[in-house]
Each structure stands twice: as structure tokens, then as C-alpha cells.
Amino acid sequence: MLNGLKTRAASGTAVLLGALAGLAAPAPADAAVPATIPLTITNSSGRGDPLFLYDLGTSLTTGQQGWADEGGAFHAWPAGQNPPTPAPDASIPGPAAGQSKTIHIPRFSGRIYFSYGQKLVFRLTTGGLVQPAVQNPSDPNRDILFNWSEYTLDDSGLWLNSTQVDMFSAPYAVGVRRADGTTVTTGHLKAGGYHAVFDSLRAQDGGWGGLVQTRSDGTVLRALSPGHGLETGALPAGVMDDYVDRVWQKYAGTTLTVTPFADRPDTRYFGRVSGDVMNFTDGSGAVVTSFHKPDADSVFGCHKLLDAPNDAVRGPISRTLCAGFNRSTLLVNPNQPDGSAAEFYQDAVTNHYARLIHGQMADGKAYAFAFDDVGDQESLVHDGAPQQAYLTLDPLS
């Protein structure tokens, strides 16, 4: 995907936005995107502890990895080592509770981190930046309350998201002001939604409560994504097996039709199961790609047996399958993607993490798994000629 945003980051986590960026049309010449745009961070968290900001990513001008200061100037990371060495302090002092601060963000494919009370720990290896991976109990950031947004700013404009692909934690919303003066936002939770997600995960049978991480003083820090829950042992490896088995049984005798491009309804692929494999054919009957029966890790991560390369056939089909498995719509609708959100997450075997997060979002939109953008369910703002970006840190309530 464009600019590397749909890649595997150093922490082994899925980073979003590239798919949409890759489909965007170039901005018109009279709406050229400047080298930097202002980002206003508003601290509505109600917290009294210090706030620290970071703008980290890959420069789309030079291709180097690095960080930006609050004026938008790019700084390349120095060479790392093995074992990893401390990265330079890239933190930007954030606004106090009830205050706002405007920084400038450059043409990046990257992340905007924010942390409460403590600075984050970043290290450098020979392969680049090591980002926080709090599914690892020895990660130095494990007991810090933090979160991040992802963005791409390039010739085609700004893509800025509110992501829960890796974890659900300190809440925030994103926004962009367009050239016509209108502003669009997404990412706000319903009143009481923050604690409702944690409480509902703990009440959900099957190990889902084990996704919730707390500090030794009892402070709730985050809920890990189910893929990380498999990694830590919170969720059993076979948590999705029953649903996958039923899908395989159904499509051994029924055709699954995938129409991966909303603007190309005549481009369709047809899936049928034979043994352990689902084969997809095109309109001529030729097999174009095949998928082995996926496990839970492949489903939750939209990778491994559901790998989605940046191509014109397998990737788009895989994205659609991934969304159907996570939303448990493959049994109720043989025509995918399913555009009816009312049908999502209705099976007893589903991605309950995604279900609960979407259920607590004010607009229903979230990035709760890597391809939650299938069917426009993602929490993302975009504009081809952005005038101003916004990041609002919401209360933990």
C-alpha cells in the first residue's frame, strides 16, 4: 500500500491508511498541499499530569525515518545498534488540561503519539525505530498511559485516523478543516463509552476480559487487540475455529461472491471450498487465487493465511474476507462485502473487541481491525486540500 502505511511496524503491529491513500486522486493544482500543515491538539482529558507529544514517521520527501519537531522540521534518526540504543528525545510538550497547542506536521507517513505523565521510551536498532509493543510485559512503556493516531500527508492530501488496531486506550478524536471552511471529525466515544468497553470485555465469556491491562495501582491502561491477546495467551488459539469451520462447510456447497471495488461492480470473484482450500475464480472460470482455511491469528491480523498484498486481485479479495470473518457476516450474506452494519457481529463467535468498540463510538466508526475500512466503517478523516488538522484528547470516562 502507498507510503508503507499498510505494513508491519517494528512492534509487529498493523498500521493503517495506505489503502485509502493509494486510491486517492491527485489534488488539483490550485489546491496544492503545503510542506506542512497546522495540527491543533486540544487536551480535553481533564487529567492534571503532563502531556507529551511525538510526530514520528517516514519522510515522503527523502524516504528517511525520523521525527518532526513542533515547527514541522524533519530530523532523521541516527543509526541504531543491536542491542537497541536509546533514540533521541523527540517529545514535544503538550497542552495542559483545558488548553490547546498548535504544531506543524510535515509530509509524513507516520504516527502522532501522546502520553500522559511520562515520556515514552523509543529505541533504535539497525533496522530503524522500535515502537512500543505493550503486549510484551517487559516493554518499558507497559505502565504508561498513551495512544497514537496515524497519518499520511502527501500530494493527494491528508489522511488522519483514530485507530484501535493494536489497542484501545486513552480516547481521542481526529478532524480536518477543508478548503471550503467546513470541518469533519470522527473518533469520539459516546458518554461513558470508555469504561463501557472495558466493562463489556470483562463480562464477555471466552477470555476477552484478559485483553484488559492495568497498572499495579489498578489504573486501567488499555485493552489489547485480539491478535495480541492470542500472542499473550489471553485468548485461546481456537477462539474463531467454530465460525471458520461453519464458513468452510457453507461454501463447500454454495458460491461466495466477492465484489471488492465499490466503483467497479462488474469486477467479481467467486469462491468455493475444496477440502482445506477456498479457490476464487474470475468470470471466465479461471482460478485467480486460493486461501487455506485461516486460524484466529490470520483472521484478527488480516495476515498470514489471509495475507493481502498490494495487488489488483488477491489483496482486495483478502481484505473482503478479513472483514467478513471479523464481522461474522460470511454466513448470513454470500455477497461480500456486506454493507449492512446491522448484520455485523451478530454471531456468538465474532471479534467481540471490534463489536464493543464500534458499539461505543458516537458515529459508529472505528479502526478496530486492519481492514475495518471495508465498507467505509473506519474512523478516518481525509481532504485533498487540508487547511488544518485536529487531535482532541477526550476524558477517560
The pLDDT tens digits for 75-127 are: 999 999 999 999 999 999 999 999 999 999 999 999 999 999 999 999 999 99
Is residue 342 classed as helix, strand or coil in its secondary structure?
helix
Q: Is the pLDDT of residue 14 over 70?
A: no
Do you find a cis peptide bond into 337, omega within 30 degrees of 0? yes
**The domain 241-348 is classified under which CATH number: 3.30.920.50, 3.50.50.60, 3.40.50.720, 3.40.30.10?**
3.30.920.50
**The domain 2-204+358-393 is classified under which CATH number: 1.10.10.350, 1.10.3720.10, 3.40.50.2300, 2.60.110.10?**
2.60.110.10
Burial level of 286, CB count in 10 A (0-12/13-18/19+)?
A: exposed
Active site residue 150: yes
pLDDT at position 276, please?
96
pLDDT at position 109, please?
96
Please compute the mean of the pLDDT values over residues 135-144 and round it to a whole number. 96
**Is there a contact between 70 and 116 (Cβ–Cβ < 8 Å)?**
no
Q: Where are the domains of the chain?
A: 2-204+358-393, 241-348
Q: pLDDT (tens digit, 9 = 90+) per residue, 199-229?
A: 999 999 999 999 999 999 999 999 999 999 9
| Mean pLDDT over the full length of the chain | 92
Active site residue 343: no
Neighbours of 76 (CB within 10 A): 11
Please compute the mean of the pLDDT values over residues 260-266 and round it to a whole number. 95
Predicted confidence band of residue 386 (pLDDT cuts 50, 70, 90): very high
Predicted confidence band of residue 152 (pLDDT cuts 50, 70, 90): very high
Cell numbers standing for residue 6: 499498510
Determine which one of 150, 297, 338, 378 is catalytic.
Answer: 150
pLDDT at position 32, please?
79
Q: pLDDT (tens digit, 9 = 90+) per residue, 317-364?
A: 999 999 999 999 999 999 999 999 999 999 999 999 999 999 999 999
Burial level of 34, CB count in 10 A (0-12/13-18/19+)?
A: middle
Determine which one of 55, 154, 166, 373 is catalytic.
Answer: 166
